[in-house]
A and B are shown apart, each in its own frame.
Chain A
Amino acid sequence: MRRPRDEPRHEGACFVKISGAATMHAPASRVWAALQDPEVLAVAIPGCERLEPTGPGTYQFALCVGVAWIRGRYAGNIKLSEQHEPSSFVLSATGAGIPGSASTSVHIRLASRSDGLTELTYDADGEVGGLIATVGPSLLGAIARRLVGRFFTRVDNVLAGTTPAGWAWPATGS
């Protein structure tokens, strides 16, 4: 009858794990290239205000991101690693800002389809700390899902040509 106590005791903790899939309207090689392109990342990362390369596969960013009224400014670093072109890589990001700190590691896999499109799947582990974690944890999963969804939609829009690379987010975010 003993409950395992070292497992996270509550669902919906600030340790956010999300998985998903998206169909990208381009061949895998183009999707791969887009996801490595800082200009595309700057467009796709929700609320991205600044993204500067600091080395091979590493970037500094500043963003203002949020959902509805819950909104915060973050600054931090992005690293692309475990690159197996054109099939998979890991995007890691850590950031800190007014509502708290966040870090995430997204494992992205690309699979070519026979129709020339690409099936993208991802698994993200996120960790959120600080204010937002202590007062709004039950919202985090849904917010994270929405932000990740926006990211891939944006990338796809760039690939499809509906959003030009170099397009900037409005200063206040979405």
Chain B
Amino acid sequence: MKPPPLDYSRPESLTDALRTLADLGPDGKVLAGGQSLVPLLSMRLAEPMHLVDINRLADLAYVTRADGQVLVGALARHAEVLASSLVPAAQPLLAKALRFVAHPAIRNRGTTVGSIVHADPAAEMPAVLALLGGTVRVLTAGGERLVGARDFFLGVLESDVQPGELVTEVRFPVLPAGAGTGFAEVSRRRGDYAVCGVAALIALNDRQEIEQARAAYLSVGPCPRVLDLTEALAGAPADSDRLPAAAAMARELIHPEGDIHATAEYRRHLAGVLTERALLEALAEARDRGSADFGRQPAGNAP
């Protein structure tokens, strides 16, 4: 298990990086944390390629808040996002989900942006971005484009990044007051990819009733799947016992596949159980966060 021969560049600036990527076209691949790429290389599932190592672009190692978004730069390691002091208040779901990402040693090197670009349907970060309706900032030597989460994930391990492009940032909408998030997953061993996982978001109105409920699912299809469960819960009180209805709705709407760890039927069942658990957590958080901003902004960029 050793990687094939590789070409390698290590640009010292973003401009250099983009120029290199532009020159290389389809041969160029970005190396950031490498926690998914390097094992694929070692197993020789990935072809020889030209790696463009962006680890010198220290300017991209940021977690900040601006314009109602949490901005995560391409070189921010999972551990840094998790440790960031602004995350718990601005977007608590990030921290909740990051705790399920592999183990600390992987989080110390792996990047949140890389995980999203890698688009593993069993990974937590793509589902979180999809649920929140976040945005991916993609640069080329010639310019910039912003891609919404809904358009970003194309298939298993496929995201909308074209040859010559570099994802420099992902943006997670800040969680408004009166909204809450929850995350629940079942994995075979702690730290493994999820057998099934659910990220949930609930927004309450000023009467403390559920106004909006959404959930995103991992490991149930080729891409993160976002369901609007509002129909099952709209108008329900914040201590709702109607969560099972939302769970039932989720079970109806998703069509997972079986694999060596779980049958499709079990996955579907789990999706229901975890929907309820994640919604319950979201509901509690929404109550705690009050409803001062109610009505003025939706929870995230609603898809």
- A138 near B259 with CB under 8 A, answer yes
Known A-B contacts A11-B263, A172-B26; the reply to A131 vs B47 at CB < 8 A is no
Residues of chain B lying within 8 A (CB to CB) of residue A11: 257-260, 263-264
Q: Mark A133-144, 1 if CB is under 8 A from B, else 0.
A: 001111101110
Known A-B contacts A67-B158, A71-B46; the reply to A12 vs B260 at CB < 8 A is yes
CA distance in complex: A171, B25 (Å): 12
CA distance in complex: A171, B49 (Å): 13
- B47 near A12 with CB under 8 A, answer no
- B260 near A137 with CB under 8 A, answer yes
A151 → chain B closest CB, angstroms:
15
Instruction: Answer yes or no: B89 CB below 8 A from chain A CBs.
Output: no
Instruction: Answer yes or no: A10 CB below 8 A from chain B CBs.
Output: yes
Known A-B contacts A12-B260, A137-B259; the reply to A71 vs B47 at CB < 8 A is yes
Instruction: Answer yes or no: A68 CB below 8 A from chain B CBs.
Output: yes
B-side interface size class? 20 to 34
Instruction: Answer yes or no: B222 CB below 8 A from chain A CBs.
Output: yes
Instruction: Answer yes or no: A124 CB below 8 A from chain B CBs.
Output: no
Interface centre among A66, A69, A142 (most CB of B within 10 A): A69
- A70 near B46 with CB under 8 A, answer yes
Residues of chain B lying within 8 A (CB to CB) of residue A135: 43, 45
Q: Mark A54-83, 1 if CB is under 8 A from B, else 0.
A: 000000000010111111110000000000
- B258 near A72 with CB under 8 A, answer no
Residues of chain B lying within 8 A (CB to CB) of residue A129: none
What does DSSP make chain B's interface, helix, strand, loop or mixed?
Answer: loop
Residues of chain B lying within 8 A (CB to CB) of residue A143: 156
Instruction: Answer yes or no: A38 CB below 8 A from chain B CBs.
Output: no
- B43 near A131 with CB under 8 A, answer yes
Instruction: Answer yes or no: A113 CB below 8 A from chain B CBs.
Output: no
Known A-B contacts A10-B258, A72-B47, A131-B45; the reply to A139 vs B156 at CB < 8 A is yes
Residues of chain B lying within 8 A (CB to CB) of residue A67: 155-158
- B258 near A139 with CB under 8 A, answer no
B189 → chain A closest CB, angstroms:
15
B121 → chain A closest CB, angstroms:
8
Residues of chain A lying within 8 A (CB to CB) of residue B222: 142, 145-146
CA distance in complex: A98, B43 (Å): 11
Q: Pick from B40, B221, B259, B261: contact of A70, CB below 8 A.
A: B40
Known A-B contacts A11-B264, A137-B260, A172-B26; the reply to A66 vs B47 at CB < 8 A is yes
CA distance in complex: A171, B264 (Å): 37
Residues of chain A lying within 8 A (CB to CB) of residue B159: 68
Instruction: Answer yes or no: B119 CB below 8 A from chain A CBs.
Output: yes
Residues of chain A lying within 8 A (CB to CB) of residue B260: 10-13, 137-138
Q: Mark A107-143, 1 if CB is under 8 A from B, else 0.
A: 0000000000000000000000001100111110111
Residues of chain B lying within 8 A (CB to CB) of residue A138: 122, 259-261
Q: Which residue of A lies closest to B36 (CB)?
A: A69
Please give 17 more A-B residue pairs, beta carbons under 8 A apart, in addition to A10-B259, A11-B258, A142-B121.
A10-B258, A11-B260, A68-B118, A68-B119, A69-B37, A69-B40, A69-B45, A69-B157, A70-B45, A71-B45, A71-B47, A72-B47, A99-B45, A131-B43, A136-B45, A142-B221, A146-B158
What is the interface of chain A, defined by CB distance below 8 A to chain B? 10-13, 64, 66-73, 98-99, 131-132, 135-139, 141-143, 145-146, 170-172
The 9 closest A-B pairs by CB, nearest first: A11-B258, A12-B259, A68-B157, A10-B260, A138-B259, A142-B156, A142-B222, A69-B46, A172-B26
